[in-house]
């Protein structure tokens, strides 16, 4: 059945793209990966099918992530990927969709314009931007309309955004490129160094999900890992312990905690005092690594919980913000801030 238009909320992540369709909820959840024939430029696969090709493609095919560190690294591939996702999410609509896209809080005006233009060329009628921590707070159902302070730590694939929010706005924020992908890279390097084996990033992610931890587990878990022997080049299988992951991931975990402290130091005392009651809420796929909530709770001495459906919070927040579109300003957030400061 045809409808006139369907507005979309887009969590444009380094690792995954989630699309929320107005009135339907999250209708698309795909890895941010594109497989392309280098000879013809033709897109062969996008999403999960393309992700499965990472590290396995023949010479004429490249599987790539067009977003890195939370921003667009390959404009054309991002635009073509979004075009396919928009068509899938709003395929019964007559008019092009209006789209709200989440962006990291540290994004520059140039990077914002790239997101806007890519979304417009992908088929959006109008494009609005929302900061990821604000979208995450909305999606986690935090009551940020009042003057009380709430802190969100959104750990995605490419960036970790830390923000204190109050009165439907970001009061203080910071962003770091230490996030879920950093954990994967760190695991792969650790295995190369300690086990003399090479693994792909897909395998590193499986390890992170299965036995990865940043706080001691009550029971030591383990898993069998398959890779390539660094010395012989032959297949190698070995057991990996969760204790090893605790040691390997200590540094990136500490960097995320340091980012939390950096935001707390910049936050007005009145809002900091609110956090003693409201606590810290973790969102994003990277926040689900075992013990992240316990680590932050121990270090900050503040309540800290993992949001329900943490990896979908930003998408749901983008969906909730669709109701505000008539009051949102088109164009870059940074430019709007600049005009506000000048005014």
pLDDT in tens, 79-117: 999 999 999 987 766 788 999 999 998 889 999 999 999
- Is it the case that residue 336 has pLDDT exceeding 70? no
Strand 16-21 with 8-12, pairing: antiparallel
- Tell me if 1 is assigned to some domain: no
Instruction: Note whether 14 and 68 are within 8 A (CB).
Output: yes
Give me the number of domains the chain comprises.
3
- Is it the case that residue 55 has pLDDT exceeding 90? no
pLDDT for res 342: 41
Sign of CA dihedral 151, 155, 160, 161: negative
CATH code where residue 96 lies: 3.30.420.40
241 and 120 fall within a common domain: no
125: tokens are: 């009628």
Q: What are phi and psi of 167, to 5 degrees?
A: 55, 45
- Is it the case that residue 339 has pLDDT exceeding 50? no
Length of the chain: 343
Distance CA 264, CA 117 (A): 35
- Tell me if 2 is assigned to some domain: no
Strand 280-283 with 235-241, pairing: unpaired
**Mean pLDDT score across all residues of the chain:** 91
- Tell me if 86 is assigned to some domain: yes
pLDDT for res 225: 97
Burial of 200 (0-12, 13-18, 19+ CB in 10 A): middle
Q: How confident is the model at residue 269 (pLDDT cuts 50, 70, 90)?
A: very high
pLDDT for res 106: 86
Distance CA 152, CA 161 (A): 8
Query: Which residues 6+ apart lie within 8 Å of 10 measured at CB?
Result: 17, 18, 19, 20, 82, 85, 99, 100, 101, 102, 119, 315, 318
Domain edge (last residue) among 211, 234, 250: 250
47 and 128 fall within a common domain: yes
CATH code where residue 202 lies: 3.90.640.10
Residue 91 gets which letter from DSSP? T
pLDDT for res 60: 85
243 and 261 fall within a common domain: no
Look up the domain containing 228 and give its range. 180-250
* pTM for this prediction: 0.91
Q: How confident is the model at residue 198 (pLDDT cuts 50, 70, 90)?
A: very high
């Amino acid at each position: 059945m045809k409808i006139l238009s369907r507005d979309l909320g887009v969590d444009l992540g380094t690792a995954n793209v989630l699309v929320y369709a107005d009135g339907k909820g999250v209708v698309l959840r795909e890895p941010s990966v594109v497989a392309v024939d280098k000879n013809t430029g033709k897109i062969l696969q996008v999403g999960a099918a393309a992700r499965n090709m990472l590290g396995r493609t023949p010479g004429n095919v490249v599987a790539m992530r067009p977003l890195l560190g939370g921003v667009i690294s390959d404009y054309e591939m991002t635009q073509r990927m979004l075009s396919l996702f928009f068509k899938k999410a709003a395929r019964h609509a007559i008019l092009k969709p209006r789209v709200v896209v989440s962006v990291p809080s540290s994004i520059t005006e140039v990077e914002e314009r790239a997101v806007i233009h890519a979304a417009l060329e992908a088929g959006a009628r109008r494009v609005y931007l929302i900061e990821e921590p604000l979208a995450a707070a909305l999606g986690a159902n935090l009551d940020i309309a009042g003057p009380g302070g709430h802190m969100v730590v959104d750990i995605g694939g490419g960036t970790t955004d830390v923000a204190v929010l109050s009165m439907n706005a970001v009061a203080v924020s910071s962003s770091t490129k230490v996030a879920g992908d950093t954990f994967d890279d760190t695991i792969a390097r650790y295995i190369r160094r300690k086990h003399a084996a090479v693994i792909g990033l897909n395998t590193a992610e499986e390890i992170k999900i299965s036995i990865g931890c940043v706080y001691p587990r009550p029971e030591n878990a383990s898993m069998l890992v398959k890779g390539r022997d660094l010395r012989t080049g032959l297949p190698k299988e070995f057991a990996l312990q969760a204790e090893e992951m605790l040691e390997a991931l200590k540094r990136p975990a500490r960097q995320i905690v340091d980012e939390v402290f950096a935001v707390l130091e910049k936050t007005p005392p009145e809002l900091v005092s609110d956090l003693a009651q409201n606590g810290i809420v973790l969102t994003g796929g990277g926040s689900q690594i075992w013990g992240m909530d316990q680590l932050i709770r121990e270090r900050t001495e503040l309540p800290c919980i993992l949001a329900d459906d943490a990896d979908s919070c930003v998408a749901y927040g983008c969906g909730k913000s669709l109701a505000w579109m008539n009051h949102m300003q088109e164009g870059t957030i940074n430019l709007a801030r600049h005009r506000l400061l000048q005014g």
